[in-house]
Structure formats: structure tokens, C-alpha cells
């Protein structure tokens, strides 16, 4: 089908605007959790298929017409295993890809030991072979840009690798070695060295942290979001010992200004890119463990952007970061949606861009030019009461936080548990009578990153949550009904074990069951394999 999307029009901007892009909706199950909780924030592109090149064309058009010139894309690599790379692959199939630059934010929040010299060489060669030579890849003064989420993880693992060889590296020398290896590969390939940017982690800016980043080979520093900084500011200025679950977006403005000013005062000639946060509401994935900045409006976001513009003019800054565009399940989004329309994008354009004589181009939607819809097919609801994972995931989907690499390996459902206190898997069911079943049996293997003696504690349990038509798993106020669950102790030793959970022992096990959440041991950096699950009379 011919692409009927009009060519993007580039306005002139007073600063270079980049934005974090999170490619987190690889299938309808990720959207479904938003549809269940906050359907009013549905994107104007619908529950869109993020791997559709025409969807990406709309994303490019809308971004560049509102002043955004590059996306800093969350990018995952764990010892050669990639995930959530569907957007980047299909960006290179988009018609308008020459209008927008992109670059890597290596989300290397991997387990201990995941970074080592051979892998650093391997990942750099992957970047060279697949990205750095393409004209769409973002550069600064000719140097390809890579943002690193955690310099600490790189440093930790490279220092440990050196120690195994009898070499003791001082703190900071491990990450320095990692970046040097990458740049050696760049020189071998005849390319300019990488412009590495460090992601700041923690509270106040400290000169020693900036100096450590500079010494390691980083050229600049940036934040991912202003949420932690806003919480930190609130605790200091309002003298809060604990933060409330609900706060006002008004706090973002003074906290951001204080953060930018603090960064400017300690950074010297080491650039810290100003970050404009887009909010926070992670109840869609964390439910009653989530926090929300309420009363976010376009008017308040405009005040924040105007303050950032003033800061840039005062300090001679030419680049800013919007953080982020589309972390939908964290409530950090400004991509056009049903709640705000184009209002947030228009704030960026109106604050930072100069209107041409004929005015800014209209905010077209797909239906205006006969395009779309781009929605995924509806999420599949299970009819089964027994699941054998020989060919597919059998309608079990990963929860959007703490579960990764969901796939079928050796006739088992395999995934990686990156941590958190969230159930790992969820299943929507067409409905079955609870009275027909009294037990839930699962054959499972739990492999922690290091062999340890089994411990029987809350983290070392296998748990099944259930919801019914009369008593959903979570309320409209997004409180999980934790009473609707059964659990037994689990063993994390890398061996197969069968567990039987007594459903009938829970008095809430009645009515029509329409949703299940499965939660293996909540251990960080753990591999889980499930051979079968079944409901038994």
C-alpha cells in the first residue's frame, strides 16, 4: 500500500532537542495492561504495532515537526542476547528515516558478570557493522554517540575480570578499560572514536562523580528522568522522611531548575545535558506500589520548558533531552494521545521553535489522510486449563517490569527475572469455574546467578494470583487483591522441581476465574524455565 503520509516539515529550533524513546510495546499484551488501567491515555496511533514502518513514519513526522531531531533509543544487549530491538530494525525500513537521527542508550542493567572484554569487543563490532556507518545514526563532530546506562556495572565486571587474572584495578579503571576497548575497535574499523555519554545515577551532583566519569573516557553526562531528582528535592525542601504515593506535577519545575543550576555549578567544562522530565505514574505496572505526579497539564509542562530555555540561554547550552517520549507504563509520555492530543508536542514546538511565515504545519492524524489503523490484533485470551510449552507461550505474557527474554527453549517457557516485586507472567482467560479445580501444578526450574543454599523466605516462593469476574485482580483504584493468591516454598538450585499449590485452601477461590498472574521467586538476575502448568480437580 502506498504511503500517503505527507513529508515532514522541519521548523527552526533554538536548541537541539533529543528525546529518549523506549521500544517497550513489542506485542499487544504490553498495551493491554494500559487498556485495563488507564485507557484514556491511548496513543493517537492506537495500540500501535511498534514494528510497523508506517507507524515509525508517523512518529518521525510528529517528532521533527515539533522540534525533535533525534531519538536516544533504549537498547538491550546481554552477552550477545538482544531484546526490544524491533523498533530499530524497522526504523531502517521507514520512508522518512532520513529526517530523524537515532542513537543508542545501552540499557546495561545486566546481572553481575555480564560485562567482559570479549563481549565489549563483540558489542562494539555489532554497532560498527549495523549502525555506525549508516547516515541515520547520530554523531557529534563526526563521532557516533552512545549513552551508557550504568558505568558502575561496566566497572564492577571489568575489575572482577581483571582480578581473576591476578590484576587489581582501582575503582574507575574497569569502565575506562571497557571504553578504551570499544574505541580501539573503532580505530581498527577506520572510524572516529565513540562519543560516550554517561547516565547519571543518584542524588545530588558531586564533583568527584563527574571527574570519575571524565577520567573513564565519557565526554558528557545526562539523566534519564527527573523523577528521582524531584523526589530528592521534595525530601530536602519539604523535610519529608517518606514520600507520599501521590504528588503534584508542580514540584517538577523548582526541582528541575535546582538540578540544572547545581549541575552547572559543579560541572565546569564537563557538559551535563539539561533534562526535561515528562512526568511519572507507574501504577499501570506497579499498581498500589506505584507513585504518581498528578495534575500534569500542557500549561505546567510549558512552564518547565520555558525554564529550560532560559537556563540554556543563560549557560550557553545548545542541546537538551526530553525524558522520555513514550514510557507509557511509567506515565512518562508526551507522544500524542487521547488525553492530551498534540498539546505536549505543541509546547515543545512553541517554546523552542520559530514559526515560518506560513505558520507551523497542521497536526495531521492518520485518519486525516486515509491511513491506519495500526493497532495490534486484540490480545489472545486463553481457553486452556493446561499449558505445555513446546511451541509457543500458550497465551502467557510477561509483565512489563522485571521480566525479559520470554521465549521457548528446549520445550520450556524461558525468561529472565531482572528483579522487582512484580508478578512475572500474566494470563487473561475466557473464564472457567473455580469449583472445577482445586490445585495448580507447575514444573519449574529456577537458576540464580550463583549457587546458594536454598532459603525459605518470601522471595523464595512460587505464587499464583487469581482474579474473577466478581473480584478482579486489581481495583479501579489500582490496588491488587493480594488475598487472592496461593503460594508454596520454592527451591532455587538450577534443578527441575514440581510444585503443587492448594487453590481450594483459599476461600476466595470461587466464581468465574478470568485472570491469572504467576510469580516465581523474586530473585534478581534469575533464569526461570517452566515445562508445564496445569489446573487439577
- Which DSSP letter does residue 458 get? G
Looking only at the bridges linking them, the beta strands covering 413-417 and 485-489 are unpaired
Around Cβ 203, how many Cβ atoms within 10 Å? 13
DSSP codes joined into one string, 333-377: E-S-BTTTBTHHHHHHHHHHEEPPTT-PPP---GGGGT----BPP
Give the per-residue pLDDT at 453. 47
Domain boundaries 12-369, corresponding CATH code: 3.20.20.80
Instruction: Please name every residue paired with 427 in a beta bridge, in sequence order, or none if there are none.
Output: 516
Whether omega for the bond prior to residue 373 falls within 30 degrees of 0, making it cis, is yes
How far is residue 163's CA from residue 456's CA, in Å, rounded to a whole number? Answer: 33
How far is residue 475's CA from residue 181's CA, in Å, rounded to a whole number? Answer: 51
Give the per-residue pLDDT at 233. 87
Give the per-residue pLDDT at 421. 77
How far is residue 373's CA from residue 492's CA, in Å, rounded to a whole number? Answer: 45
Q: Where are the domains of the chain?
A: 12-369, 386-536
Around Cβ 399, how many Cβ atoms within 10 Å? 21
Residue 209, classified by CB atoms within 10 Å of its CB into exposed (0-12), middle (13-18) or buried (19+), is middle
Fold classified for 386-536: Jelly Rolls (2.60.120)
Q: Which own/partner pairs from 352-360 qualify as long-range (CB within 8 Å, at least 24 positions apart)?
A: 352/13, 352/14, 352/15, 352/17, 352/67, 352/305, 352/309, 353/11, 353/12, 353/13, 353/14, 353/66, 353/67, 354/11, 354/12, 354/13, 354/14, 355/11, 356/11, 356/12, 360/11, 360/65
pLDDT (tens place) for every residue of the chain, 537 residues total: 456 999 999 999 999 999 999 999 999 999 999 999 999 999 999 999 999 999 999 999 999 999 999 999 999 999 999 999 999 999 999 999 999 999 999 999 998 999 999 999 999 999 999 999 999 999 999 999 999 999 999 999 999 999 999 999 999 999 999 999 999 999 999 999 999 999 998 767 778 888 889 999 999 999 998 888 888 888 888 877 777 888 999 999 999 999 999 888 887 888 999 999 999 999 999 999 899 999 999 999 999 999 999 999 999 999 999 999 999 999 999 999 999 999 999 999 999 999 988 999 999 999 999 999 999 999 999 999 999 999 999 999 998 888 988 999 999 999 999 877 789 999 999 999 999 999 999 999 999 886 544 444 456 899 999 999 999 999 988 999 999 999 999 999 999 999 999 999 999 999 999 999 999 998 888 999 999 999 999
Amino acid at each position: 500500500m502506498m504511503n500517503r503520509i505527507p513529508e515532514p516539515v522541519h521548523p527552526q529550533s533554538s536548541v537541539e532537542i533529543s528525546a529518549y524513546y523506549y521500544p517497550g510495546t513489542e506485542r499487544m499484551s504490553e498495551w493491554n495492561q494500559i487498556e485495563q488501567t488507564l485507557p484514556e491515555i491511548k496513543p493517537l496511533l492506537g495500540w500501535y504495532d511498534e514494528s510497523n514502518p508506517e507507524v515509525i513514519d508517523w512518529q518521525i513526522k510528529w517528532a521533527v515537526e515539533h522540534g525533535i531531531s533525534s531519538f536516544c533509543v533504549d537498547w538491550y544487549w546481554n552477552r550477545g542476547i538482544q531484546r526490544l530491538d524491533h523498533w530499530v530494525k524497522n526504523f531502517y525500513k521507514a520512508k522518512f528515516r532520513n529526517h530523524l537521527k537515532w542513537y543508542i542508550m545501552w540499557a546495561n542493567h545486566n546481572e553481575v558478570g555480564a560485562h567482559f572484554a570479549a563481549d565489549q569487543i563483540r558489542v562494539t563490532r555489532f554497532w560498527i557493522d549495523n549502525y555506525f556507518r549508516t547516515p541515520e545514526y547520530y554523531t557529534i563532530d563526526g563521532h557516533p554517540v552512545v549513552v551508557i546506562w550504568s558505568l558502575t556495572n561496566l566497572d564492577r565486571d571489568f575489575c572482577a575480570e581483571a582480578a581473576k587474572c591476578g590484576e587489581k584495578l582501582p575503582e574507575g579503571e574497569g569502565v575506562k578499560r571497557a571504553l578504551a576497548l570499544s574505541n580501539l575497535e573503532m580505530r581498527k574499523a577506520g572510524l572516529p572514536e565513540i562519543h560516550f555519554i554517561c547516565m547519571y545515577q543518584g542524588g545530588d551532583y558531586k564533583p568527584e562523580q563527574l571527574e570519575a566519569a571524565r577520567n573513564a573516557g565519557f565526554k558528557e553526562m545526562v539523566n534519564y528522568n527527573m523523577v528521582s531528582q524531584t523526589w530528592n528535592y521534595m525530601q530536602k525542601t519539604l523535610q519529608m522522611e517518606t514520600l507520599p504515593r501521590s504528588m503534584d506535577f508542580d514540584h517538577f519545575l523548582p526541582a528541575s531548575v535546582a538540578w540544572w543550576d547545581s549541575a552547572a555549578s559543579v560541572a565546569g567544562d564537563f557538559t551535563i545535558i539539561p533534562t526535561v522530565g515528562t512526568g511519572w505514574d507507574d501504577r499501570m505496572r506497579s499498581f498500589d506500589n506505584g507513585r504518581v505526579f498528578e495534575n500534569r497539564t500542557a500549561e505546567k509542562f510549558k512552564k518547565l520548558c520555558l525554564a529550560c530555555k532560559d537556563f540554556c540561554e543563560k549557560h550557553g547550552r545548545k542541546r537538551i533531552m526530553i525524558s522520555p517520549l513514550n514510557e507509557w507504563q511509567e506515565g512518562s509520555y508526551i507522544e500524542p494521545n487521547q488525553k492530551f492530543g498534540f498539546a505536549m508536542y505543541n509546547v515543545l514546538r512553541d517554546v523552542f521553535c520559530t514559526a515560518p511565515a506560513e505558520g507551523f504545519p497542521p497536526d495531521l492524524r492518520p485518519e486525516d489522510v486515509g491511513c491506519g489503523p495500526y493497532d495490534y490484533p486484540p490480545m489472545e485470551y486463553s481457553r486452556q486449563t493446561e499449558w505445555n510449552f513446546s511451541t509457543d507461550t500458550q497465551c502467557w505474557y510477561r509483565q512489563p517490569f522485571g521480566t525479559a527474554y520470554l521465549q521457548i527453549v528446549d520445550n520450556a517457557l524461558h525468561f529472565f527475572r531482572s528483579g522487582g516485586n512484580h508478578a512475572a507472567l500474566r494470563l487473561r482467560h475466557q473464564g472457567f469455574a473455580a469449583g472445577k479445580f482445586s490445585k495448580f501444578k507447575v514444573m519449574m526450574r529456577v537458576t540464580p546467578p550463583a549457587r546458594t543454599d536454598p532459603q525459605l523466605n518470601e522471595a523464595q516462593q512460587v505464587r499464583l494470583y487469581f482474579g474473577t469476574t466478581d473480584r478482579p485482580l486489581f481495583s479501579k483504584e489500582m490496588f491488587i487483591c493480594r488475598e487472592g493468591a496461593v503460594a508454596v516454598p520454592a527451591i532455587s538450585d538450577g534443578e527441575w522441581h514440581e510444585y503443587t499449590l492448594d487453590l481450594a485452601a483459599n476461600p476466595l477461590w470461587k466464581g468465574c476465574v478470568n485472570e491469572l498472574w504467576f510469580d516465581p521467586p523474586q530473585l534478581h538476575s534469575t533464569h526461570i524455565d517452566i515445562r508445564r502448568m496445569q489446573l487439577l480437580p
